[in-house]
A and B are shown apart, each in its own frame.
Chain A
Amino acid sequence: MMSRTNIIALIFLIIMGLYPLFADSAWLAIGTTFLVFSVVAFSQDIILGRAGAFHMGHAAFFGMGAYTTAILNVNFGWTILATWAPAVLIPVIVSFIVISPIIHLRGDYLLVATIGINIIFLQILENDLFGLTGGPNGIFGIDVLKVFGYEFFEQTHMYYMSFILLGITLFIMKNLDSSKFGRAMFYVNKDDVAAQSMGINIRYYKMYAFAIGAGIAGAAGSMFAVQYSAVSPEAFDVLQSIMFFTIVLVGGSASLPGVIIGTFVMFVLPEIFREFETARYLIFGLAMIIMMILRPRGIWPVKFGNIPSFLKKGKK
């Protein structure tokens, strides 16, 4: 017996799996970016929706992954495959270094501090601090993935690579949610005083969320860099962070379908209405306000009660 959510998930995966058969190249690119952004949004949701840390600088971790792949490939001649591990690990390590001193900050203070981290990251890129980032123009000429002499250069290849990455991300999210670690994040989020009185180390679980979130965002960044074969600073500025933050809240914090819907609403819809050009962000802003008023917990809010079936006796 499948639950309603699982059926919907299956339908979603089938549609997304078959999508390249019907899409032209422009829409295939949008589809690919949609998948990559969903991955980033999920990683943002680990930090914001699960651990409840007001994090508004996630584009920095996304960008670190992208720039790691770009720099290692273009400047040092690494193959794309070889850059994957560092593209994940560097954001994780950086998150430990920059987030751990501020992890104790409450709510909005953390929010502004993480905006700050994003802005500092962006200035490092723009000012070409180590002579590696290519300044405001960024880096171009990034290679395609080559495995055993086979080159994955087509749009469709990019699409399915991103599709697999989304699959891996969903697998991790599911595992996280059904583990001590995912639950601990929720406890910290819902009531930190009660959580620590139950023996939960708040710092540890918030850092855990940041580390996993940064790692997944890094992987998505690497994918993004290869898709466009270029990286430049403005793709990772605070406005991008705000978008990921908003995706989670508009869709529904800690809700897997919610985040997918959020990404669709915040990224794909504006693409569909591209012809309205100038007025579209005005309408978009209005839509954000109206959406929050109508559905303050998101379009598809999370439902708790993720417990083994042998405990679900008499439902009341």
Chain B
Amino acid sequence: MDIFLQQIVNGLTIGSLYALVALGYTMVYGVMKLINFAHGDLVALSAFAGLTIYTSIFSNGGTSIVAVITVFLFTAMIIAVVGVLLERFAYKPLRTAPRLSAVVSALGAGLVIQNAIMLIWGPNMKIFPSDLFPSTVYDINGVVITFTQFMILGLSSILMIALYLFINKTKMGTAVRAVAINQDAAQLMGINVNKIIMIIFIIGSALGAVAGLFIGIYYRGITFDMGWMYGLNAFVAAIIGGIGNIPGAMFGGLVLGLFNALISGYISSAWAETFTFTLLIVVLIFRPTGILGETVAEKV
């Protein structure tokens, strides 16, 4: 039972990270109907950028809350800028092109970011310092939660709630939803679609950046090509939840995180992806647009 509960905690931790990344995919997909294949590589870039900021600014050691907050804010800002540039140069010129052209452009952009990371930071694994967060461990009836896990769960929840409120309760959030439903109509109603798409990329990239930093802090080892696998898992999470649907991405992330942790805990991590994609395919067979996705009947 303890093992089970422990895997639940681990699963929720990974799941929160998937959810943060999945939100980036789902928001872009909701508005542009594009799988942003470069998103996972932005997450990886965030981990590397964060590491450099931390070591170069706070090289004399000693964690402070200020240091950690600075790293998170700076990195999120940088990644948000990269995300906006990505949209501006790789996707915007292709908005009216056949859909798959944008997919190829996204794959190309992913390749660019991945190889840029490799050229800047080298092909070998980099190790995150262990002192960003205190190494405090909480033991609740035999179930261990580290301070890092606690922060991941807490901050992810806060960010997701904030995003949910932003999308559903603010005027700009309403505009985002309007653009997702019908870009042309939204444009006619005076919504600046370009601005909304920019906001989507800022938010999505910043959330991905937070996830990237957490991945570095939690797993410590980071590689230039790690974005692909995290991205793919997060994208699967978004689809399981119902792509384009924000609560769906959160739900899908948590489901996939729990599922992964239980498979690794009870079966074998060597088959993790096989189980992940089997889950995805089974979900899609029964719910072709994901669990919370709407089944849209095509208008004839």
Direct A/B contact, Cβ within 8 angstroms: yes
Residues of A within 8 A of B (CB): 54, 101-102, 104-109, 111-113, 115-117, 119-120, 123-124, 126-127, 193, 242, 245-246, 249-250, 253, 278-279, 281-282, 284-289, 292-293, 296-297
Closest Cβ of chain B: how far from A200's Cβ, in Å? 16
* With contact pairs A108-B243, A289-B89, A289-B112 given, residues A242 and B107 touching in the complex (Cβ less than 8 Å): yes
* With contact pairs A285-B111, A289-B89 given, residues A120 and B94 touching in the complex (Cβ less than 8 Å): no
Chain A residue numbers with a CB within 8 Å of B281 are 101-102, 113, 116-117
Closest Cβ of chain A: how far from B17's Cβ, in Å? 19
- A120 x B277 contact (CB < 8 A): yes
**CA gap between A250 and B108 in the complex, in Å:** 11
Closest Cβ of chain A: how far from B126's Cβ, in Å? 17
Smallest CB gap from B100: residue in A: A249
**CA gap between A312 and B35 in the complex, in Å:** 42
Contact partner, B35, options A111, A287, A293, A296, Cβ 8 Å: A111
- A285 x B273 contact (CB < 8 A): no
**CA gap between A243 and B188 in the complex, in Å:** 40
**CA gap between A282 and B111 in the complex, in Å:** 6
- A109 x B239 contact (CB < 8 A): yes
**CA gap between A94 and B289 in the complex, in Å:** 25
Chain B residue numbers with a CB within 8 Å of A123 are 270-271, 273-274
Contact partner, B109, options A278, A289, A297, Cβ 8 Å: A289
Closest Cβ of chain A: how far from B107's Cβ, in Å? 6
**CA gap between A25 and B276 in the complex, in Å:** 43
- B274 x A282 contact (CB < 8 A): no
- A54 x B288 contact (CB < 8 A): no
Chain A residue numbers with a CB within 8 Å of B98 are 296-297
- A102 x B285 contact (CB < 8 A): yes
Chain B residue numbers with a CB within 8 Å of A113 are 277, 280-281, 284
Given contacts A119-B274, A126-B270, A278-B119, 13 further A-B contacts (CB under 8 A): A101-B285, A102-B281, A108-B29, A109-B284, A111-B35, A278-B115, A285-B108, A288-B111, A289-B109, A292-B94, A292-B104, A292-B105, A297-B98
- B101 x A285 contact (CB < 8 A): no
B216 is an interface residue with CB less than 8 A from chain A: no
The binding surface of chain B is classed by DSSP as: helix
**CA gap between A117 and B281 in the complex, in Å:** 9
Interface flags for B20-42 (1: CB within 8 Å of A; 0: not) read 00000000010001010000000
* With contact pairs A120-B278, A249-B104 given, residues A296 and B94 touching in the complex (Cβ less than 8 Å): yes
- A246 x B107 contact (CB < 8 A): yes
- B115 x A279 contact (CB < 8 A): yes
* With contact pairs A105-B284, A113-B284 given, residues A282 and B119 touching in the complex (Cβ less than 8 Å): yes
**CA gap between A249 and B104 in the complex, in Å:** 7
Interface flags for B142-167 (1: CB within 8 Å of A; 0: not) read 00000000000000000000000000
Closest Cβ of chain B: how far from A98's Cβ, in Å? 9
**CA gap between A293 and B94 in the complex, in Å:** 6
- B35 x A127 contact (CB < 8 A): no
Smallest CB gap from B97: residue in A: A296
Chain B residue numbers with a CB within 8 Å of A245 are 104
9 examples of A-B residue contacts, CB within 8 angstroms? A101-B285, A106-B288, A119-B273, A120-B274, A120-B278, A282-B112, A284-B108, A288-B111, A292-B108
**CA gap between A246 and B103 in the complex, in Å:** 9
**CA gap between A111 and B236 in the complex, in Å:** 11
B110 is an interface residue with CB less than 8 A from chain A: yes
- B99 x A120 contact (CB < 8 A): no
- A109 x B112 contact (CB < 8 A): no
Interface flags for B260-300 (1: CB within 8 Å of A; 0: not) read 00000000001101101110110011001100000000101
**CA gap between A127 and B281 in the complex, in Å:** 21
- B101 x A249 contact (CB < 8 A): yes
Closest Cβ of chain B: how far from A58's Cβ, in Å? 14
**CA gap between A201 and B50 in the complex, in Å:** 53
Smallest CB gap from A120: residue in B: B274
Smallest CB gap from A98: residue in B: B281
- A115 x B94 contact (CB < 8 A): no
Closest Cβ of chain B: how far from A51's Cβ, in Å? 13
Smallest CB gap from B289: residue in A: A109
- A250 x B285 contact (CB < 8 A): no
**CA gap between A229 and B94 in the complex, in Å:** 43
**CA gap between A287 and B105 in the complex, in Å:** 9
- B119 x A127 contact (CB < 8 A): no
